A and B are shown apart, each in its own frame.
Chain A
């Protein structure tokens, strides 16, 4: 199953793509022979429990799940499996939140948090490790392929993943419609909800893949 694990909707201040536009574009990608089963919406610094994509998801046969991309004191982290308990503990808008606390809370309450675009200067996990940050023993995953990577960032991420023995995910980091699906994660399991996504991410049975441009 191929899921784009990192996308931004218009709820993110720097994105210009709506969920409906992504869905329409995925249908076009499929007609042109590309394979994409769904995506996870990971808007910046927020999570809306009330938003429900079940209707548009089932109408189009596209899995649409919810996560978040959070700013922390150790770079940007992708978070999946967010529930009410987690959002009652973590202030998603706090751009200086402790990444270690975020990881620990997610580990405790059924979610998972791991570094987004870890090779990115200033906001990537590798940058902080290079500067002596310690801990994060339970982190076993990082974003290997990011569709918005700049030159050198992918190599830096790969170096981190290899050195730590991490599992690597893929996501487009789409902020515009046509970017969705450029990088994805191929899972062995079928995933239909966030709980199954967390289980699959914790199992390590996945790999990062790129989609050929249409």
Chain B
């Protein structure tokens, strides 16, 4: 997370959020799926063989984990960000162990006093293909 506090007045239409590049390792997926309890059998999220038996090219990152990663783009932008709403569309499966680019852009600014900002967010692979897209509403405090 950025240590620089951002305030509502600092942000303009078209401001970029990120980008940040992350890779999701096999281990981090296992750790994520283990949150709901130890995995008793391999799944398409943790096993290439199971994934391929289900018609996928390789093990994929779980949707909930992708949502969590997208949210971290926003909450990591500044310690002052509050994430109010996140709505994503999964366009392609997300593979493990490959660089993923997370980015956002401010598309609306509510000047009526709510301090809410709307933004588009995307996750792309190295070829620039959008794997996950969406939008979010975040809030920033006013300058003290």
- Using CB atoms and an 8 Å cutoff, list the residues of chain A in contact with chain B: 14-17, 21, 24-25, 28, 32, 148, 150-151, 175-179, 214
Contact = CB atoms under 8 A, between A and B. Distances in A.
Given A24-B108, A214-B14, A176 B133 contact: yes
A16 B87 contact: yes
Contacts, number: 42
Contact of B135 (A28, A150, A176): A176
Contacts of A151: 127-129
B107 A14 contact: no
A16 B89 contact: yes
A32 B14 contact: yes
Interface residues of B, number: 18
B133 A25 contact: no
Interface of B: 13-14, 87, 89, 91, 105, 107-108, 118, 120, 122, 127-130, 133-135
Contacts of A178: 105, 107, 120
A205 B84 CA distance: 47
Contacts of B134: 16, 176
10 contacts: A16-B87, A25-B107, A28-B13, A150-B127, A151-B127, A175-B89, A175-B133, A177-B108, A177-B120, A178-B107
B14 A28 contact: yes
B100 to A, nearest CB: 16
Contacts of B105: 178
Contacts of A177: 107-108, 118, 120, 135
Contacts of B128: 151
Which 4 pairs of residues, A with B, have the shortest CB-CB distance?
A176-B120, A177-B107, A16-B135, A178-B120
Nearest to A25: B107
Given A14-B91, A16-B134, A177-B135, 17 more contacts: A16-B87, A16-B120, A16-B133, A16-B135, A21-B108, A28-B13, A32-B14, A148-B130, A150-B127, A150-B129, A151-B127, A151-B128, A175-B133, A176-B134, A177-B108, A178-B105, A178-B120
